[in-house]
Each structure stands twice: as structure tokens, then as C-alpha cells.
Amino acid sequence: MKHLLFFASAAASLLLAVSPALAQDEAQTVNKITFSLTPQAKSLDCLGVAGGPTPTATVTVTRGSLHDTLTMKASHHKPRLDFDLFTIQNSNPLSDGQPDPNFVNFGLSWYQTDVQSTSAGTATVTINTILLDQIFGFDPG
């Protein structure tokens, strides 16, 4: 069974975390950004090992000329856990991790890749996709 719980939200956090970097002075282009993702409390039982450390993930996005490279390194997950990585338009938690009272839905969603943790509960995935400069979606609704 695929688990979307953590990384659908994680992908949203990715979009939120990249936005402040892009708001900097245009003369100062950010070519690489690294940030941490935090699982939602309701996903902890699905992701982590009971009594173990909290699951974590660190993401690095590197700007490219035609596409960007995203590398995600996760640890403290259940061994051999399968899940999907999505980029989503809207995030249900606020930047402080609290639920967004105005959240309606995830909006546009882009499937990126499958991810599987190792027997040690770690996972690393690297994707080449457009995240920073020319990503766009269309939703007439």
C-alpha cells in the first residue's frame, strides 16, 4: 500500500519553504536551498517505529538551467515503507505546523516519484523537475 500522508504534506512544505528564498532581491539569485520537513502528528504512527525517533526528512533544491534537482534524505521511518512523493499547490499546515483553518484542498498535485525506505528506515531520492522558475499549472475552477 502506498502512503501519501507525510510526503504529500512534505511536498507542500517544499513549496512554502522555497517561496521566501525567491522573494529576495532579484539581483541576488538563490541557486541552492536546504530545509527540513516535519511530519504531521496524525502521520507519525504510519511513518515511524513505535517508541523510536521522530521521522525526519531534509530536502535540497538546486536551481538548473532547464530543470531543478531535488534531493530528499529521510530517516527514522518504518523499514521498507513505500510512499509517493507529490508536489502540491496548497498545504494543510501553516508554517508553524498548526492546521490551517482556511485549508480547503491540496489544489493541483504533481506526482514526482515512488520512494521506499531501506531496512534501516532511511530513504534518499533525487528527482529532476521544474520547481523554481517556470513551474505552472492551470485550474479553471
The 3-class SS string of 118-137 reads CCCCCEEEEEEECCCCCCCC
The answer to the question of residue 135 being in a domain is no
The backbone region for 22, taken as left when phi is positive above 0, alpha when psi lies in -120 to 50, beta otherwise, is: alpha
The answer to the question of residue 138 being in a domain is no
Euclidean distance between CA atoms 6 and 56, whole angstroms: 10
The answer to the question of residue 74 being in a domain is yes
The answer to the question of residue 17 being in a domain is yes
Domain that residue 113 falls in: 5-129
The backbone region for 55, taken as left when phi is positive above 0, alpha when psi lies in -120 to 50, beta otherwise, is: beta
Report residue 15 CA to chain centroid gap: 8
| Domains of the chain: total | 1
In this predicted structure, which of 20-29, 62-71, 132-141 has the lowest mean pLDDT?
A: 20-29
pLDDT value, residue 75: 96
The answer to the question of residue 35 being in a domain is yes
Euclidean distance between CA atoms 70 and 56, whole angstroms: 16
The answer to the question of residue 139 being in a domain is no
* pLDDT reading at 48 higher than 80: yes
Q: Is the dihedral of CA 16, 108, 82, 94 positive or negative?
A: positive
71-124 pLDDT, tens per residue?
Answer: 999 999 999 999 899 888 888 888 777 889 999 998 888 899 999 999 999 999
The answer to the question of residue 134 being in a domain is no
The average confidence (pLDDT) of the chain is 80
The answer to the question of residue 140 being in a domain is no
Amino acid at residue number 48 = G
Q: State the pTM of this model.
A: 0.73
> Average pLDDT for residues 127-134, to the nearest whole number?
86
